[in-house]
Each structure stands twice: as C-alpha cells, then as structure tokens.
Structure 1
Amino acid sequence: MKLVVQVKLMPTPLVAEALEATLHACNEAASWVARLAFEKRMYRNFSLRKHSYAEVKERWGLGAQAAQHVIKKTCDAYASLWANLSAGNLGKPSSRRYRRATERPIVFRTEAAQPYDDRMLSWQTDARTVSLWTTSGRMKEIPFTAGPEQLAVLARHRKGESDLVFRDGMWFLMATCEVPEAPTQPGPVGFLGVDLGIVNIATTSDGEVMAGRNLNRIRVRERKLRTKLQRKDTKSARRRAQRRRRKEARRARDINHKIAKHIVAEAERTSRGVALEELTGIRERVRLRKPQRATLHTWAFAQLQSFLAYKARRAGVPLVYVDPAYTSLTCAECGNVDKANRVDQARFACRSCGFVDHADRNSSRNIRARAWLLWRCGAQSMAPVPRSGG
C-alpha cells in the first residue's frame, strides 16, 4: 500500500532562493503547456509531449526529467478536472462554476507543488540530507527533519516520486512509500461499529464516545474570526485568514488521525473488524437549517473515514461499509423503527420495548449488527487503496 511521508527541509537562504526559482519556472511552464493543451484539445501525455517538450526545455531552462514531469502534471490536472466534472462536483453544465472550469485553460499557482523522481532527487536517509535538482544546478546536502515514525518508514519503504512543496514560508518533501500490508484477518470474531457525527465525532458499539465539543467550539470561534477578516478584506487580513484556516485544518487532521488510530488498534486487539456507515453524498442528501450547514460542511467526514480505511488496511483489519438508512431510529434491542424513538440528539428511547440508551451508541450497535450480517453473507473487506497517510 502507498503512504505519503512528509519531511521538512531546512535549506539555507541561497538554496531556498534556488528552490523558489525552480518552482516558479516549472509552474509557468505548466501553465503554458495547459494553454497549449486547451487550444489543441490534446490532453494525453505522449501526444502533448511531441508539441511542448522542446519548447519547455529551451524556454524555461528545465532539465529533461523536469520537463517531462511538467507535461505529465498538466495532463493529470486535466484528468482530475474531467473526473470532477463527470462526478458533478462542479455543478451542472449550466452553472457558472462549471462554465468557468471548462471555458478557460488551467492555470497553475507560481508556488504549486512539483514532482521529483529519483533522477532529480537523491536521499541520504542516514545523514538526513537530500540532493535536489534546481534550475540553478544540483543543490546537495540539504538537511531535513521528520518524526521518528516517519523517518523509519522513509528509510525502509521509500519508493517512487516525491513532491516539492512550499507552504507557509516552509519547504517540504512529500515522499511516496510502499508499505507492505498485513494479511487481512480470515475470520473476525465480530465487528466494532462506529457511528460518526458532529457533536460526538465517533461513538463505538463498545460505548466509547469521542466527543467533539472542544473541536466544535474552536471551529465556531475560527468561523467568527474568519468572517471578521473577510469583511476587513485587506492584504494582511487575507494573509492572516489563510494562516488560521491552515492551522484549523492541521488541528482537525491531528484529531482524526488519533481517533482512527485508537479505533483500529482496539479492533485489532480484540480480533474484530471495523464497521462504518456509507456516507458518500451525505452533504447532498441531508436537509439542514442554515445555522447548521456550516457545521456540517466544515467537518471532515471523508478524511476520518479515509484514515480509518488506510489504517485498517495496514493493520489487516477487515472494514465493512453498511447502509446508513434508519440506523439512528432503529432499536438495537428489538429492531423497532420509529422516528419518535429518537427523543433528542443524545437520547434514544424505544417506543416498543422501552429500551433506553445513548443515541449514538444505539446507532453504532445497529451498524455493528448490519456489518456482521453482511460478513456472514460473504461480503469482503472494503478498505480502499489509500492515497496518503501518516
């Protein structure tokens, strides 16, 4: 399975200047290639390379490998655009957002990430340095740092491309690692049902509740601050808003990682699988009042599920997605389905048998039961191939 390990570079001012010039040159070239591809309606790598490779090398002074990566990056960007259009992520063809995406070529930010392969980048993991190609020549012995776990994975399993990233005044390398998967448990003794929510981020069928009150309070505060900065609309206000947004995203990502790690470790310890609701398209399905919409749309449903998926895959823990219909209205004891069973956000009281429980725990027990039924009927682990991790 592929994981992405982030390491922080610590270049000298001279090296940082060379890296910045390299990113600018590569992204200017990529924007030019994107315009050419748009004009000629040519989006395949090898076809586009015939019309742009020589020009990119000569005009921006890029090496052979860098020029090929610039062209491939452009083709990949268009492929992602077509996939989003097909999935309806940019609205209907008549929408303004759809037209803006299709009526003009892609433009790359001057500091967008640039891929490097092993011909352009060499790692000295024992010395914790890297050697990077730049438009000013090869920059050698650039120090880098990362956490102990990330360094161990990098030393053992690094394989493939790495992306050079400039963010918040700092330089990073995103290294691809091929980590061997643990064999999936042949027959789990049961499943650990997990109900995901907003007030309680995750509630397990064992009764463990990971509350999100503190995180939600922070998000409300950050949203109010962001509104003030947007109204001010000065250059410094926009810069500060961007920093705050990234800080909030890092905090949420860290919390999601910790929750996913804990759930998968508990399932592995007890020889169980993990059961989740299939929440794809939840934002389009649910109807909420206006004050609740911001809370729903700022919570990382997909991120936590993806972390659970790749950690389960790495640990060899089966993962099953179940139909979420009526899990919050169904009694886990007698199976009675009634809207009145859900007394309020936190309390479940069955109108048929009188069973009373925490509402999210009751939902997680229903998720567990549905997963076990699916598994006994021959369902396989549905942990997808992960794209990134940590």
Structure 2
Amino acid sequence: MKLVVQVKLLPSPEQAAALEATLRACNRAAEHVSQTAFASGVMDRNGLQKLVYTDIKASFGLSAQPAVRVVKKVVDAYRTLAASLRAGRLGRPSSKRYRKAVGSAVSFRPEAAQPFDDRCLSWQTDARTVSIWTVDGRMRGIRYTGCADQLKTLAEYRKGESDLVRRGGKWFLIATCEIPEPEVFEPVDWIGVDRGIANLATTSDGTNYQGRRLNRYRRWQARKRAELQARCTRSATRRLARHAKKEQRHAAHVNHRISKEIVSVAQRTGRGIAVEQLDGIRERVRLRRDQRGTLSSWPFHQLGQHLAYKARRAGVPFLAVDAAYTSQRCPRCGHTGRANRPTRDRFSCRRCGLAGPADHVAGVNVRDRARSAWVFVTMPVPSPA
C-alpha cells in the first residue's frame, strides 16, 4: 500500500532562497504549459511535451528532467479536473462553478507544490540530508527532520516522487512510500462503528468518542471567521486561510487518534472493523438552515478513510455495510420503526422493550450486518456442473 511521509526541511538562508526561486520558476512554467494545453486542446503527456519542452527550458531556466516533471504536473491537473467533472463534484454542467472550471485554463499558485523524481532529488537517509536540483544549481546537504516512525518508514520504503512544499514560511518534502501489506486475518468477530456528529464514533463495544470538544472548537472558529470576514481586508483574508488550515489539521488529528485506537483494539482482539456506507448522505438528507454548516463540516469521510488504511496496514479486515435504519432497528427482535428512537440519544424498541443509547445500538446493528456480509464474501463459489 502507498503512504506519504512528510518531513520538515531545515535549509540555510541561501538554500531557502534557491528553493523559493526554483518553486516559483517551476510554477511559472506550469502556468505557461497550462495555457498552451488549454488553447491547443492537447492534454496528453507526449503531445504536450513536444509542444512546450524546448520553450520552457529556454524561457524559465529549467533543465531537462524538471521540465518533464512540470509537463506531467499539468497533465495530472487536467486529469484530476476531468475526474471531478465526471464525478459531479463541481455541480451540474449548467452551474456557475462547472462553467468556470471548463471555461479557463488550470492555474498554479506561485508557491504550489512541485514534484521531483530521483534524478532531481536524492535522499541520504543515514545523514538525514537531501540533494535537490534548483535553478541556482544542485543544492547538497539540506538537512531534514521528522518523527522517529516517519523517518524509519522513509528509510525503508520510500519509492517514487517527492513533492517540495512551502507552507507558512516553512519547507517540507512529502515522499511516497510503498509499504507491504500484511495478510488479512480471519476475524473471530466484528467491531461495528457508528459515525455521527454529536458522537464522532461509537463502537458496538460501547466505547464512545464524543464530538463535543470538536464541535465547540468549530463553533469558536466559526465566530472568529465571521469577525474576520466582516473586516474585508487583505490581512483578514490571510488570517482566514490560516484559521481554515488550522481547523482542518485539528479535525484530522482527532480522526487519527480515534481510528488508531479502534484499529489497535481490533488487532489485539482478532476482530474486524465494520462501518456504515455513508456515501451521498449530504445529498440525501434535508436539514434546517442552522444545521447545514454542521453537516457540511462533519469529517465522517476522513474518519472512514483513516480506519480503512490503518486497518489495511495492520492486516485487520474492514467492511462497509448498508447504513439503512441502523439507528431504528432493534438488534434483538429485528423490529424497525422511527418510533424506536424517541430522542436523538435514546433507543427504545416498541416491540420487545430493548433500550439503550441510540449510537451504541446502531454500532451493534453495523456489527451484525458485517457478520452476515462476511459470511457471504468468504462463501466459496460453487464449481460449474
């Protein structure tokens, strides 16, 4: 499986100036290549490279391999845009956002990330330094640092391109690592995970990961965002961007912590992990105006992704099951009805009287569905007569 490892660069002032000049030159070249691709309609890598290769080497001071990386970066950007259009992530073809996306060339920020392959960037993992091509020549001995686990993964499994990123005045390298996947074991049972807003995750074991602190933090961020938006200044706009990134990092940290704990419990007890299939939930539900912001900022998808990749890395079975009526179905007698959930937090079966926290009951239903689904998945296919 592929993972990315981020390390922080510690360049000297001279090295940092060379890195900044390189990043800006590559993105100016990418902007030129994007305009050429949009005007000519040539979006394939070989055809576009024939059109612009000589020009960007002469005009932007790029050597051969960085010029090739710039062309590939532009081609990948247009492929990503096409995939987003097909998936409907930019709305319908008649929407303003869709028309704006297809009506102009893809643009690149002056300090957008730039990929480097092993010809442009080499790692000295023992010395914790890198050697990287720049417009001012090859810069050698640039130190980097990171946490011990990431540095170990980087030294053992790094493979492919690395992205040079500047964020908040600091320099980072994001490297791709190919980690071997352990064989998935046969689970003795399942841990059902119900994802929610008030409670970010509730397992069938009864473990509850409350979202109260995260929601309170988001409300505080929303108030600060409204205050900054009312100022309408450039400084306020920059601060808004910093606040948004900080909020995203905080939510990602919470999801990492929750998923890590659930996967470790599953691995220790020999069980699999089952979650609800929540794709398209934002389009299906209809909420009051004051609830829309809460739903749109609900990080359930990220939590599911973290659970999935951490489970793969640990060899833990992972399933996504049907989410229909998991909070309204009684796991004991099977009775399903809206009246079984008189309040958001409480479940009380109208037929057999089973009562308990609604999110816990939903987690138990997810676990039961995973048991049935796994039997079907592992059932041997009968041989043809």
Q: Same fold (TM over 0.5)?
A: yes
**Aligned residue number for residue 12 of structure 1:** 12
Equivalence map 1:214-363=2 (5 Å): 214-363=213-362
Looking at structure 1, the residues matched to 194 and 170 of structure 2 have their Cα atoms a distance apart, in angstroms, of 37
1:132 aligned counterpart, secondary structure: strand
Letter in structure 2 aligned against 1:12: S
**CA drift at 1:248:** 1.1
Deviations 1:328-352 (A, max 9, x none): 1111111111101112111111111
* Shift in alpha-carbon separation, 1:323–1:231, aligned structure 2, 3 A: same
**CA drift at 1:379:** 5.5
Deviations 1:16-45 (A, max 9, x none): 111111111111111111111111111110
**CA drift at 1:13:** 1.4
Letter in structure 1 aligned against 2:91: G
* Shift in alpha-carbon separation, 1:229–1:379, aligned structure 2, 3 A: farther
**CA drift at 1:238:** 1.2
Deviations 1:168-209 (A, max 9, x none): 111100011111111111x21111000011111100000000
Equivalence map 1:9-158=2 (5 Å): 9-158=9-158
* Shift in alpha-carbon separation, 1:299–1:163, aligned structure 2, 3 A: same
Letter in structure 1 aligned against 2:164: L
Q: How many residues align?
A: 379
**Aligned residue number for residue 188 of structure 2:** 189
**CA drift at 1:299:** 2.0
Q: Structure 1 residue runs of 4+, over 6 Å off?
A: none
Looking at structure 1, the residues matched to 315 and 198 of structure 2 have their Cα atoms a distance apart, in angstroms, of 30
* Shift in alpha-carbon separation, 1:379–1:40, aligned structure 2, 3 A: farther
Looking at structure 2, the residues matched to 137 and 344 of structure 1 have their Cα atoms a distance apart, in angstroms, of 66
Letter in structure 1 aligned against 2:150: Q
CA-atom RMSD in angstroms = 1.0
**Aligned residue number for residue 386 of structure 1:** none
Deviations 1:337-371 (A, max 9, x none): 11011121111111111110110000010001111
Letter in structure 1 aligned against 2:57: K
Deviations 1:212-242 (A, max 9, x none): 1011100000011011101112111111111
Looking at structure 1, the residues matched to 64 and 235 of structure 2 have their Cα atoms a distance apart, in angstroms, of 40
Looking at structure 1, the residues matched to 91 and 288 of structure 2 have their Cα atoms a distance apart, in angstroms, of 22
Looking at structure 1, the residues matched to 224 and 351 of structure 2 have their Cα atoms a distance apart, in angstroms, of 47
**CA drift at 1:266:** 0.7
1:367 aligned counterpart, secondary structure: helix
* 1:369 aligns to 2:368 (yes or no): yes
Deviations 1:128-170 (A, max 9, x none): 1111111111111111110111011011111111000011111
Deviations 1:80-103 (A, max 9, x none): 001010111111111100000001
Letter in structure 1 aligned against 2:171: W
Looking at structure 2, the residues matched to 198 and 22 of structure 1 have their Cα atoms a distance apart, in angstroms, of 44
Looking at structure 2, the residues matched to 325 and 374 of structure 1 have their Cα atoms a distance apart, in angstroms, of 15
Letter in structure 2 aligned against 1:59: S
Looking at structure 2, the residues matched to 83 and 64 of structure 1 have their Cα atoms a distance apart, in angstroms, of 29
1:378 aligned counterpart, secondary structure: helix
Looking at structure 2, the residues matched to 193 and 272 of structure 1 have their Cα atoms a distance apart, in angstroms, of 10
Letter in structure 2 aligned against 1:239: R
Looking at structure 1, the residues matched to 28 and 182 of structure 2 have their Cα atoms a distance apart, in angstroms, of 43
Higher RCO, Cα 8 Å, sep 6+: 1
Letter in structure 2 aligned against 1:327: T
**Which region of structure 1 is more displaced relative to structure 2, 120-129 or 207-216?**
120-129
Looking at structure 1, the residues matched to 295 and 133 of structure 2 have their Cα atoms a distance apart, in angstroms, of 43
Looking at structure 2, the residues matched to 280 and 378 of structure 1 have their Cα atoms a distance apart, in angstroms, of 21
**CA drift at 1:250:** 1.0
Looking at structure 1, the residues matched to 343 and 34 of structure 2 have their Cα atoms a distance apart, in angstroms, of 53
Looking at structure 2, the residues matched to 10 and 281 of structure 1 have their Cα atoms a distance apart, in angstroms, of 43
Letter in structure 2 aligned against 1:257: H
Letter in structure 1 aligned against 2:231: K
**CA drift at 1:292:** 1.0
**Which region of structure 1 is more displaced relative to structure 2, 79-88 or 297-306?**
297-306
Letter in structure 2 aligned against 1:304: L
Deviations 1:32-89 (A, max 9, x none): 1111111111111011111111111111011111101100010100000010101111
2:301 aligned counterpart, secondary structure: helix
1:299 aligned counterpart, secondary structure: coil
Deviations 1:270-322 (A, max 9, x none): 11110011111111111111111111111222211111111011111111111
1:366 aligned counterpart, secondary structure: helix
